[in-house]
């Protein structure tokens, strides 16, 4: 990887590439975004269809608790994935279990779990900061290019390939269960298994993305790409492709914004996402008005 970083740095110094490529951490961040964006963007339309936007936010908050638990158990700050993934999986499975067995609205139950995990995380954070610098933990909370390592890139690549492969195998079942759950049940599909499986895959995708986007902002990259794509899409295939394209463009744009103006990466990516959402909203409204005028 060092050879790649050196090669890109030479191109940047020669003016062939933008100047931020002179710094290896920018290149690592860009590579991470190129992996994260298709992963979360490709899942976002299923998240929106299954009405799990609030759950993805709860998982992001649960990651903070998992991080502090892992640190208190002795996990290194450079590799906090075990604690975050373990706790988020438990939280996600518990939320789905309670949701399927309660008459309360799902958003109410998820709100209860979010309050529990966030309150516990804040209390544990006080204990964790006695050992670790709070600014190190802020990198996981809000995202930071400076914290991405080659090991993170490898973990991200492996997790992305695993999640994408499983999604490809179960995609038709997931899509039908998301759009018409009753029809999926009538056709004999294992809807309970599908729901738990998707939450587990979503949890894995969120956890490995936290170092770039941050625990408090990761929901945006899970939800906004699908919302922006929905403004323009006419069918499922276009919907999926546009969701990935929006995530990629906003991720790359956020990387360069954060490198030039020294703002948190997660915040820059989210601002890019919301900007694209309003652009697609306006373009979609223009197309709809044109079609209405032509039909008259």
**Where do the domains of the chain lie?**
32-295
Please say whether the dihedral angle defined by the alpha carbons of residues 77, 83, 85 and 88, taken in this order, is positive or negative: negative
pLDDT at 266: 75
DSSP 147: G
Low-confidence spans in the chain with pLDDT less than 70: 75-80, 128-146, 184-187, 216, 294-296
pLDDT tens string 119-177: 887 787 777 666 666 666 666 666 666 677 888 888 888 988 999 999 888 888 888 88
Q: How far apart are CA 286 and CA 248, in angstroms?
A: 24
pTM of the model: 0.84
Q: Which residues contact 135 (CB under 8 A, 6 or more apart)?
A: none
Task: Identify each DSSP E strand in the chain by its residue range.
Answer: none
pLDDT at 140: 64
The correct CATH number of 32-295 out of 3.30.565.10, 1.10.3470.10, 1.25.40.10, 3.90.550.10 is 1.10.3470.10
User: 56 exposed, middle or buried (CB, 10 Å; 0-12, 13-18, 19+)?
Assistant: buried
pLDDT at 59: 83
CB 32 within 8 A of CB 156: yes
Q: How far apart are CA 29 and CA 8, in angstroms?
A: 14
pLDDT at 278: 93
């Amino acid at each position: 990887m060092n050879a790649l970083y050196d090669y890109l740095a030479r191109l940047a110094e020669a003016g062939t590439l933008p100047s931020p490529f002179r710094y290896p951490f920018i290149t690592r961040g860009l590579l991470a975004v190129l992996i994260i964006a298709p992963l979360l963007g490709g899942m976002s339309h299923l998240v929106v269809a299954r009405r799990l936007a609030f759950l993805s936010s709860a998982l992001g908050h649960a990651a903070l608790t998992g991080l502090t638990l892992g640190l208190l158990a002795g996990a290194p700050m450079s590799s906090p994935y075990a604690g975050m993934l373990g706790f988020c999986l438990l939280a996600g499975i518990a939320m789905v279990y309670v949701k399927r067995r309660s008459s309360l609205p799902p958003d109410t139950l998820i709100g209860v779990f979010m309050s529990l995990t966030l309150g516990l995380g804040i209390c544990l954070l006080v204990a964790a900061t006695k050992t670790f610098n709070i600014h190190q933990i802020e990198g996981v909370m809000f995202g930071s290019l400076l914290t991405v390592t080659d090991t993170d890139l490898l973990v991200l690549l492996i997790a992305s390939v695993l999640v994408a492969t499983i999604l490809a195998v179960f995609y038709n079942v997931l899509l039908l269960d998301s759009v018409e759950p009753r029809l999926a049940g009538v056709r004999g599909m294992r809807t309970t298994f599908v729901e738990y499986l998707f939450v587990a895959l979503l949890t894995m995708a969120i956890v490995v993305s936290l170092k770039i986007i941050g625990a408090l902002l990761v929901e945006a990259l899970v939800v906004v790409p699908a919302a922006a794509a929905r403004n323009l899409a006419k069918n499922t295939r276009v919907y999926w492709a546009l969701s990935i394209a929006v995530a990629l463009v906003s991720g790359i744009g956020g990387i360069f914004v954060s490198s030039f103006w020294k703002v948190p990466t997660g915040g820059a990516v989210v601002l890019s996402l919301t900007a694209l959402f309003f652009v697609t909203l306006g373009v979609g409204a223009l197309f709809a008005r044109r079609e209405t005028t032509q039909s008259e």
